[in-house]
């Protein structure tokens, strides 16, 4: 995770960052720090130690560490591999190098990111299918469809593409949560008819986020690290109910300050264990 000390809303690069009058949201730093800390403690409580990358004062979105690199799965050598992102907006352009340096310091190996003008936003748009060398990839608003073959080649993985349709669900991680090899939670409004068909082919059990909980509460920006527990924005009550009914263990947390910037649970961590 990245220290939230520099987290602010200083510019608007997604529809969540402004209020109805078009003004940038204000963040309460004390509340943000408390919410971030609860997330960190939740992961630690589930048995995942958390490493913290220090905040750069000039990078207000750096706390969303799911975006600057695409990580894993571990190579045959057991070394973590990552592909640095190419952020669509210049405001976030410095994040990949900082995150990459930190990972190299841990012994990870950087894969070559072809220096071309094709945006690619890490785990914002690329989700590992649980336990397989298969990536589900979103494109349209942030990552460019032309990045998909490059990612497939670098990770020697299959990549299935989904065109994103809803501006409020601008990253795939705001619209889809792989829960286990059979099950995914998804926001139907984010996908094209072809995308919905592909999802049905990939996951035998698909759980649609009820009502408007995906766009209002980031219900589909949840994270299931172990096939059982689902860390999710607490306000998404109907989604929590649905998950519980299907046998999962939802853990509701407050992420309201981060939602003002267009992110919630999933965006705020980068998993470094084999997937
Ligand atoms: N303000 C950030 C941006 O627009 C939020 C990123 C949220 N991250 C995510 N993985 N969806 O880039």
Q: Does a structural domain hold residue 14?
A: no
Confirm if 209 and 222 have CB atoms less than 8 A apart. Answer: no
The conformation of residue 247, written as its DSSP 8-state character, comes to T
Whole-angstrom CA distances from 62 to 69, 87, 218, 234, 256 are 12, 12, 19, 23, 17
Probe target for ligand 1 pocket from 94, 267, 268, with the most ligand atoms within 8 Å of CB:
267
Nearest residue (CA) to ligand 1, atom 8: 267
Q: Does a structural domain hold residue 273?
A: no
Ligand 1 center to 17 CA (angstroms): 10
Q: Exactly one of 16, 171, 223, 229 is catalytic; which is it?
A: 171
Which contiguous run of DSSP H or E holds residue 201?
Answer: helix 193-202
User: Looking at the 3D structure of the chain, how many domains does it have?
Assistant: 1
Q: Which residues line ligand 1 (CB under 6 A)?
A: 13-14, 61, 64, 66-67, 124, 171, 173-174, 261-263, 267
Q: Does a structural domain hold residue 16?
A: no
Residue 74 confidence (pLDDT): 67
Q: Does a structural domain hold residue 17?
A: no
For residue 117, what are the domain limits?
Answer: 4-9+23-268
Ligand 1 center to 86 CA (angstroms): 14
Cα 50 to Cα 45: distance, rounded to the nearest angstrom:
10
CATH number at residue 236: 3.75.10.10
Ligand 1 center to 263 CA (angstroms): 5
Q: Does a structural domain hold residue 18?
A: no
Probe target for ligand 1 pocket from 124, 166, 177, with the most ligand atoms within 8 Å of CB:
124
HEC readout, 156-174: CCEEEEEEECCCCCCCHHH
Residues of the chain with pLDDT under 70: 74-76, 274-275
Q: Does a structural domain hold residue 180?
A: yes
Cα 141 to Cα 240: distance, rounded to the nearest angstrom:
28
Q: Does a structural domain hold residue 77?
A: yes
Q: Which atom of ligand 1 is the closest one to the Cα of 121?
A: 10
Cα 154 to Cα 184: distance, rounded to the nearest angstrom:
25
Ligand 1 center to 116 CA (angstroms): 22
Residue 78 confidence (pLDDT): 78
Cα 138 to Cα 151: distance, rounded to the nearest angstrom:
12
Long-range CB pairs of 101-104 (<8 Å, 24+ gap) are 102/53, 103/69, 103/71, 103/272
CB atoms within 10 A of CB 20: 5
Q: Is 229 a catalytic residue?
A: no
Probe target for ligand 1 pocket from 85, 139, 263, with the most ligand atoms within 8 Å of CB:
263
Q: Is 267 a catalytic residue?
A: yes
Q: Does a structural domain hold residue 275?
A: no
């Amino acid at each position: 995770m990245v220290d939230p000390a520099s987290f602010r809303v200083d510019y608007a690069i997604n529809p969540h960052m402004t209020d109805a009058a078009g003004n940038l949201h204000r963040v309460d730093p004390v509340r943000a720090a408390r919410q971030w800390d609860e997330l960190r403690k939740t992961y630690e409580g589930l048995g995942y130690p958390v490493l913290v990358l220090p905040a750069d004062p000039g990078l207000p979105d750096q706390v969303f560490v799911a975006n600057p690199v695409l990580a894993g799965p571990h190579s045959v050598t057991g070394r973590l591999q990552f592909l640095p992102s190419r952020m669509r907006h210049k405001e976030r352009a410095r994040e990949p190098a900082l995150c990459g340096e930190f990972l190299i310091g841990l012994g990870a190996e950087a894969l070559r990111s072809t220096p071309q003008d094709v945006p690619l936003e890490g785990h914002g748009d690329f989700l590992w299918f649980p336990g397989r060398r298969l990536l589900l990839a979103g494109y349209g608003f942030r990552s460019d469809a032309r990045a998909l073959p490059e990612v497939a080649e670098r990770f020697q993985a299959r990549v299935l593409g989904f065109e994103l349709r809803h501006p409020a669900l601008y990253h795939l991680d705001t619209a889809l949560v792989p829960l286990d090899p059979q099950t995914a939670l998804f926001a139907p409004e984010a996908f094209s008819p072809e995308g919905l068909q592909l999802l049905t082919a990939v996951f035998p059990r698909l759980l649609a986020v009820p009502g408007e909980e995906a766009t209002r509460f980031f219900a589909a920006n949840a994270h299931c690290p172990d096939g059982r527990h689902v860390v999710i924005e607490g306000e998404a009550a109907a989604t929590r109910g649905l998950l519980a009914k299907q046998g999962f263990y939802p853990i509701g947390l407050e992420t309201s300050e981060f939602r003002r910037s267009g992110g919630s649970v999933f965006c705020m961590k980068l998993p470094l264990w084999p997937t």
